[in-house]
Amino acid sequence: MFKGNSILWRSGNAVTFKVEGMTCVSCEITIRLALEPTSRFRRSHLSYDRGEAVVEYDPQKTTPTKLRDAINSTGYTVKEGK
């Protein structure tokens, strides 16, 4: 079960996370590379200027929790909502 409220938005098999600490395109690339090997996402859109990561994923292969953990493993932080 997904704990916490770090998902800003969820629609079908896509989630939007608020990510703290991204300041440039290299930050986006770092997060995308962290998502690739473990999360088996279908598509992603990262925006350092908005501080968001939108990830479309296959629920048979990964979960929002695993996606969040992959982002957090980079040193950037998925912000918990209220």
- The domains of the chain are located at 7-78
CA-to-CA distance for 6 and 27, rounded, in angstroms?
19
Considering only CA atoms, give the Rg of the chain. 11
**pTM confidence score:** 0.79
Cα 65 to the center of its chain, rounded Å: 9
Fold designation for 7-78: Alpha-Beta Plaits (3.30.70)
Task: Give the strand pairing for 7-11 and 14-20.
Answer: antiparallel
pLDDT (tens, 9 = 90+) of the chain, 82 residues, equals 344 455 544 556 888 999 999 999 999 999 999 988 765 677 889 999 999 999 988 888 888 899 999 999 999 999 975 4
